[in-house]
Amino acid sequence: MGEYLKYRKNSVFDAYDHQQLSFGELLQKLPLHRDPSRVPLVPVVFNIDMGMTSQVNFEGLEYKVISNPRTSETFEIFLNATGTEENFTLEWSYNSALFKPSTIERMMASFKSILESIVAQPNITIGEIVKVDASQYEELNRTQAVYPQMPLHDLIKEVSKTFAKKQALKFEETEISYQELEVQVNQLSHYFVEQGVKSGDIVGVALPRSIELVVSLIALMQCGATYLPLDPNYPINRLEFMLDDSGANFLISSKTFSLSLKTNASVLLYEDVFSNLSKYASTPLSLNVSNNEVAYILYTSGSTGKPKGVSVTHKNLVNFLFSMMLKPGIKNHDKLLSITTISFDIAGLELFLPLLVGATLVIANDDTARDSRLMLRLLKQERITMLQATPTTWQMLLDAGWENPLAIKALCGGEMLPLPLAKKY
């Protein structure tokens, strides 16, 4: 550290060779992007004035140096060091629009800790300097959150009781209430059990985007089974690999699509399943599912080799969803549009988050999920208030003619968000 400080001292002295060039002249010569809310080039200033002394005497007078707090600050942070070799004072001024007092207090504590470390061990390396004291470490590690220790389907069941008559799911012209959702989930669960589905089984789900898709996923959870999401639009060999690699016991699919798949899993036909639901009991299964059970298995893209299956437990899923309920937040009056493939990880957020708060899930059909013009029309038609999409999709929506503001909470991920796109939104 001592060597580094000597190097910095020489750099500072070398800079004096250019002291006749003012800050304003320097800014004029540099092609910098200007932000009216901030000072360009130099966000932080560290000023040292160690010439003050307490040895000045006035006949018959006592004096002390008083620093008047600044009412405004030009720079983001201005750190002023004054005093003598025996003691000194550090004055922090900052832009209150950018920093909270608690943030500056943490910076002050960290800076004090650094100075103490250097004084105690002048030859300490930069990496060894203690930058955060024990209390700050404790605060940073205080990450435990309280959320229900229940499987997802039980939580949805409780919400269904509260919002029984409210719209839960909508797909094209078909919609069902929370009460109807609970009844269908229960009936389908009884059907699955009759077909031999049991706790711990892995069930591939290769269904088109629909209300029935969501009902099937929740019903499988109620059976204690693990669903394997299979997008019917994926290449056949990839779907067959996932079915074989996961050891799937069952496959739910359509008559047409199931014929193109080679699998050892027992096939349950979508058309047969939902045409006979009414004959099954509408009461929930008397089965306790642990939140440590696997809710679904998601396969990676396979960009570094073969796709790998990742198990997501109910506890994992509920933890994530309750975190998203807090930030960015969702309320029961919201309407979320689902456009993501079921085989993509964020699909869990789209399909289940609204159902945990009594909100409405609107499911886009395949054409709408691919066509930004149709998607924009649906956003306006259904008055969607929440949408998760990649930067590419957001750009496509803008290119499709999205000009007037929409009251949408925009979730963006999956790719890097370009700054120009962020500013447009």
The domain spanning residue 349 has which CATH number?
A: 3.40.50.12780
Within this chain, do residues 99 and 194 fall inside the same structural domain, yes or no? no
Return the minimum-mean-pLDDT range out of 38-47, 393-402, 408-417: 38-47
Residue 183 in domain: yes
Residue 46 in domain: yes
Q: What is the dihedral angle through the alpha carbons of 313, 316, 321, 326, rounded to the nearest 10 degrees?
A: 160
Within this chain, do residues 132 and 169 fall inside the same structural domain, yes or no? no
**Mean predicted confidence (pLDDT) in 179-208:** 96
d(CA 199, CA 220): 9
Write down how long the chain is.
Answer: 425
Residue 146 in domain: no
Reduced to 3 states (helix: H, G, I; strand: E, B; else coil), residue 312 is: strand
Q: Which residues pair with 294 in a beta bridge?
A: 313
Model pLDDT, residue 30? 87
* Structure token digits, residue 33: 């992007």
Within this chain, do residues 409 and 281 fall inside the same structural domain, yes or no? yes
Q: How far is CA 50 from CA 54, 75, 82, 215, 369, in A?
A: 12, 22, 5, 72, 65
Residue 296 in domain: yes
Residue 322 in domain: yes
Mean pLDDT of the chain: 89
Residue 352 in domain: yes
350 close to 373: Cβ distance less than 8 angstroms:
no
Within this chain, do residues 134 and 171 fall inside the same structural domain, yes or no? no
Within this chain, do residues 131 and 229 fall inside the same structural domain, yes or no? no
Q: At residue 50, does pLDDT exceed 80? A: no
Model pLDDT, residue 57? 67
Model pLDDT, residue 392? 95
Model pLDDT, residue 84? 75
Model pLDDT, residue 118? 87
Within this chain, do residues 218 and 107 fall inside the same structural domain, yes or no? no
**What pTM value is reported for the model?**
0.74
Within this chain, do residues 410 and 269 fall inside the same structural domain, yes or no? yes
H-state helical runs in 344-390 = 347-352, 366-370, 372-381
Confidence of residue 53 (pLDDT cuts 50, 70, 90): low
Model pLDDT, residue 162? 96
**Mean predicted confidence (pLDDT) in 190-208:** 95
Q: At residue 135, does pLDDT exceed 80? A: no
**Mean predicted confidence (pLDDT) in 289-302:** 92
Selected residue with higher pLDDT from 70 and 292: 292
**Mean predicted confidence (pLDDT) in 291-304:** 88
Q: Percentage of residues in the chain with pLDDT exceeding 70?
A: 94
Confidence of residue 4 (pLDDT cuts 50, 70, 90): confident
Confidence of residue 52 (pLDDT cuts 50, 70, 90): low
Residue 249 in domain: yes
Within this chain, do residues 120 and 164 fall inside the same structural domain, yes or no? no
- Decide: residue 156, CB within 10 A, 0-12 exposed, 13-18 middle, 19+ buried: buried
Within this chain, do residues 86 and 134 fall inside the same structural domain, yes or no? yes
Q: Which of 92, 109, 140 is the last residue of a domain?
A: 140
The dihedral sign for the CA sequence 375, 177, 180, 275: negative
Torsion angles phi and psi, residue 343, rounded to 5: -85, 0
Residue 145 in domain: no
Model pLDDT, residue 88? 82
Within this chain, do residues 255 and 320 fall inside the same structural domain, yes or no? yes
Q: Which of 88, 114, 140 is the last residue of a domain?
A: 140
Q: At residue 132, does pLDDT exceed 70? A: no
**Mean predicted confidence (pLDDT) in 376-404:** 93
Within this chain, do residues 41 and 165 fall inside the same structural domain, yes or no? no
Q: At residue 82, does pLDDT exceed 90? A: no
CATH of residue 86 = 3.30.559.30
Q: Which of 140, 173, 198 is the last residue of a domain?
A: 140
Q: What pLDDT digit, counting tens, does each position of 212-265 carry?
A: 999 999 999 999 999 999 999 999 999 999 999 999 999 999 888 877 888 999
Domain around 13: 2-140
Selected residue with higher pLDDT from 52 and 418: 418
Model pLDDT, residue 141? 83
* Total domains in the fold of the chain: 2
- The end-to-end CA distance of the chain, in Å, is 46
Q: What pLDDT digit, counting tens, does each position of 328-364 carry?
A: 999 999 999 999 999 998 999 999 999 999 999 999 9
Within this chain, do residues 251 and 334 fall inside the same structural domain, yes or no? yes
